[in-house]
Each structure stands twice: as structure tokens, then as C-alpha cells.
Amino acid sequence: GAGVSQSPSNKVTEKGKDVELRCDPISGHTALYWYRQSLGQGLEFLIYFQGNSAPDKSGLPSDRFSAERTGGSVSTLTIQRTQQEDSAVYLCASSYANYGYTFGSGTRLTVV
């Protein structure tokens, strides 16, 4: 597609439930990133995929968070047993090498 697509755009879930957030990167972009943005805050790095290399998971806040990237394209971020502090906007970005970092519009997650 022309841009990075994320779905759903909004998600409300009950505390303790699992959620899956999806990201479709720009076609041909080899790198994919997940960031989290809490209300009024900056962007917090979560995880980074580059080609077939092992992902950089250094930003994942706990073992409840995991992400996959299938076929070098679509990525899914999974949060298990959601907590209220997980409420945030989850942003996905993709890039080609070190260029063209492009963000999606994000998924706003609300845990009630």
C-alpha cells in the first residue's frame, strides 16, 4: 500500500484480556518498528524487525508483550493479560535501510 496501515484504529478491552494489534508496512520496506505513546508523552521503543535477522526486543516492557513478523511483511503485536497501564497509542513504522521511516496512524488501546 501507499502507507503504513494499522488495525484496529481503536480497541477497548477488559483488564486481563489478550489483544492483537496489526501492522501492514510499506511494500518493500525491510525494517518494521513498534513504538508506544502514552498520553502527552514521547514515543517509547518496543521492538524492531530487520529482514530475516533476530528482532531487537530490548524495549518490550514485560513478557506479556510479544510480536511477530510473518513473511517479512505484516506484523502482529500481542499483549497478554492486559493491564490498565498498557493503555496507550501503539504506533508502527517501517523503513528501507536507514531511510524513509514512515509511521502509521496507530492503534489507541484502552484497558478498562
Partner 1 sequence: GESVGLHLPTLSVQEGDNSIINCAYSNSASDYFIWYKQESGKGPQFIIDIRSNMDKRQGQRVTVLLNKTVKHLSLQIAATQPGDSAVYFCAENRAAGNKLTFGGGTRVLVKP
- Enumerate binding residues for partner 1 (CB under 8 A): 4, 31, 33, 35, 41-43, 45, 48, 50, 56, 59, 91, 93, 95, 97-98, 100-106
In the block, cell 501492522 appears at: 23
How far apart are alpha carbons 103 and 34 in whole angstroms? 9
Quote the least distance from Cβ 79 to partner 1, whole Å: 19
Quote the least distance from Cβ 45 to partner 1, whole Å: 5
Quote the least distance from Cβ 2 to partner 1, whole Å: 14
Looking at the Cβ atoms of 59 and 72, the one nearer to partner 1 is: 59
Looking at the Cβ atoms of 1 and 14, the one nearer to partner 1 is: 1
How far apart are alpha carbons 83 and 62 in whole angstroms? 11
Q: How would you label 1-37 residue by residue, b for 16+ Cβ within 10 Å and e otherwise? A: eeebbbeeeebebeeeeebebebbbbeebebbbbbbe
Peptide bond connecting 55 to the previous residue in cis, omega within 30 degrees of 0: no
Looking at the Cβ atoms of 14 and 27, the one nearer to partner 1 is: 27
Quote the least distance from Cβ 81 to partner 1, whole Å: 26
